[in-house]
Amino acid sequence: MVAGDLGRYAETIPFPALMDATLPEASDPTWQGFRTASVANMTAFWTAWPLVKAAIKRWPYEPAAATGPVEAITLPITLDATEDSGSGLTALEIAAELGDEEAFVEAASEIDWSQCRAVEFTRAVRLALAVGAHLLARHLAAQGAKLHPDHAELERMARILAPPRVVRADLPSVPSLQANQAWLRAHADEYRGQWVALRDGALLAAAATARQLRACLESTDGVLITRVF
């Protein structure tokens, strides 16, 4: 791996739908990075994908036209036509309903996000989280917040899902860490399953739950609170 790939990947990947097609990056397989490598794990979703897309296109506007194989498809109960303005969000709903992350990412790649409303971004972010597409959720939140800067929920999503940030790198060391670890090694059998509070390698209190333990302490400053395993 080229040094720095991971860091750059996390922060600088433009969202494909917003790429300028005239830029060299447009032909870059960036979007492929969201996809898992194995095609062998394709699920039944893809077997039905053309039919699903056909159903999405028609549903619910032309119910009478649903004849033949399309009739066999039962659309997920979470579908809500009021949330899909033709953007393709329904395809995301279906993929999420099926729990198919790969199909979800594929469906997301077909959406023109530059035309999406804020509510569609927020819904897509939630669906992405539910299906396990965390990096996509981050990028959707960031792009949504950029396109809809006055939307409070998108701003909150973008802030929460943003890459980690170093706040301070000059904080003092804590030499007593090792003493607490030594106590845990020495007494694990006695306190297994309990919550303990330690300071400088000495036991302050033990309890069945963290909340009960907290109630025994005047302060948690400098006190290690952990469950003993």
Q: Does residue 224 belong to the site contacting other proteins (CB under 8 A)?
A: yes
Q: State the binding string over 148-187 for other proteins (x if CB under 8 A, else -).
A: --------xx-xxxxxxxxxxxxxxxxx-xx-xx--xx--
In whole angstroms, the minimum distance from the beta carbon of 107 to other proteins comes to 18
- Helix boundaries (H) for 32-100: 44-58, 89-98
Within 2-31, the residues that bind other proteins by CB under 8 A are 4, 6-7, 10
Residue type, 208: A
Beta-carbon contacts of 26 under 8 Å, excluding residues fewer than 6 positions away, are 16, 19, 20
- Closer Cβ to other proteins, 73 or 119, answer by number: 119
Q: Which residue has the tokens 């929460």?
A: 160
Beta-carbon contacts of 21 under 8 Å, excluding residues fewer than 6 positions away, are none
Q: Does residue 226 belong to the site contacting other proteins (CB under 8 A)?
A: yes
- Closer Cβ to other proteins, 24 or 193, answer by number: 193
Strand, coil or helix: 227: strand
Query: Quick one: which of 222, 221, 223, 205 has its CA closest to 213?
Result: 205
Asked if residue 139 lies in contact with residue 15, where contact means CB atoms within 8 angstroms, the answer is yes
- Closer Cβ to other proteins, 51 or 194, answer by number: 194
Within 47-76, the residues that bind other proteins by CB under 8 A are none
- Closer Cβ to other proteins, 51 or 225, answer by number: 225
Strand, coil or helix: 104: helix
Part in contact with other proteins (CB under 8 A); list of ranges 20-28, 44-52, 60-68, 210-218: 210-218
CA distance 139 to 121: 10
Interface size with other proteins, residues (CB under 8 A):
51
Asked if residue 153 lies in contact with residue 197, where contact means CB atoms within 8 angstroms, the answer is no
In whole angstroms, the minimum distance from the beta carbon of 105 to other proteins comes to 15
Q: Give residues in contact with other proteins (CB under 8 A).
A: 4, 6-7, 10, 126, 129-130, 132, 134-135, 138, 156-157, 159-175, 177-178, 180-181, 184-185, 192-193, 195, 209-211, 214, 220, 222-227, 229
